[in-house]
Amino acid sequence: EPEVTQTPSHQVTQMGQEVILRCVPISNHLYFYWYRQILGQKVEFLVSFYNNEISEKSEIFDDQFSVERPDGSNFTLKIRSTKLEDSAMYFCASSGIRAGGGSYNEQFFGPGTRLTVL
Amino acid sequence: QKEVEQNSGPLSVPEGAIASLNCTYSDRGSQSFFWYRQYSGKSPELIMSIYSNGDKEDGRFTAQLNKASQYVSLLIRDSQPSDSATYLCAVKRDTGRRALTFGSGTRLQVQP
* pLDDT tens column, B65-93: 999 999 999 999 999 999 999 999 999 98
Across the interface, do B34 and A31 touch by the CB < 8 Å criterion? no
- pLDDT band for position B14 (50/70/90)? very high
CB contact at 8 A, B34 and B25: no
* pLDDT tens column, A78-100: 999 999 999 999 999 999 865 55
* pLDDT tens column, B25-68: 999 889 999 999 999 999 999 999 999 999 999 999 999 999 99
In the predicted model, what is the mean pLDDT of chain B? 95
- A chain contacts of residue B87, beta-carbon cutoff 8 Å: none
Instruction: Name the residue among B92, B96, B103 with its Cβ closest to that of A105.
Output: B92
In the predicted model, what is the mean pLDDT of chain A? 93
Using CA atoms, how far apart are residues A69 and B24, in angstroms rounded to an integer? 36
Q: Judge residue B41's burial from the number of C-beta atoms within 10 Å of its C-beta, 0-12 exposed, 13-18 middle, 19 or more buried.
A: exposed
Q: Does A48 touch chain B (CB under 8 A)?
A: yes
Which residues of chain A carry a pLDDT beneath 50?
A: none
Using CA atoms, how far apart are residues A63 and B82, in angstroms rounded to an integer? 42
Q: Minimal CA–CA distance to A94: which of A11, A10, A7, A23?
A: A23
Across the interface, do B46 and A110 touch by the CB < 8 Å criterion? no
- Residues whose CB is less than 8 angstroms from the CB of residue A15 and which lie 6 or more positions away in sequence, other chains included: A82, A83, A84, A117, A118
CB contact at 8 A, B47 and B72: no
Q: Does A56 touch chain B (CB under 8 A)?
A: yes
Across the interface, do B88 and A48 touch by the CB < 8 Å criterion? no
Q: Judge residue A24's burial from the number of C-beta atoms within 10 Å of its C-beta, 0-12 exposed, 13-18 middle, 19 or more buried.
A: middle
Closest CA–CA distance from residue A109 to any residue of chain B (Å): 6
| Distance in angstroms between the alpha carbons of the first and the last residue of chain A | 37
CA-based nearest residue in chain A for residue B35: A106
- Virtual torsion, Cα A52, A54, A60, A64, nearest 10 deg: 50
Strand partners, B87: B37, B106
Give me the pLDDT at residue B98, please: 84
Residue numbers of A between 64 and 83 with CB closer than 8 Å to B: none
Across the interface, do A91 and B43 touch by the CB < 8 Å criterion? yes
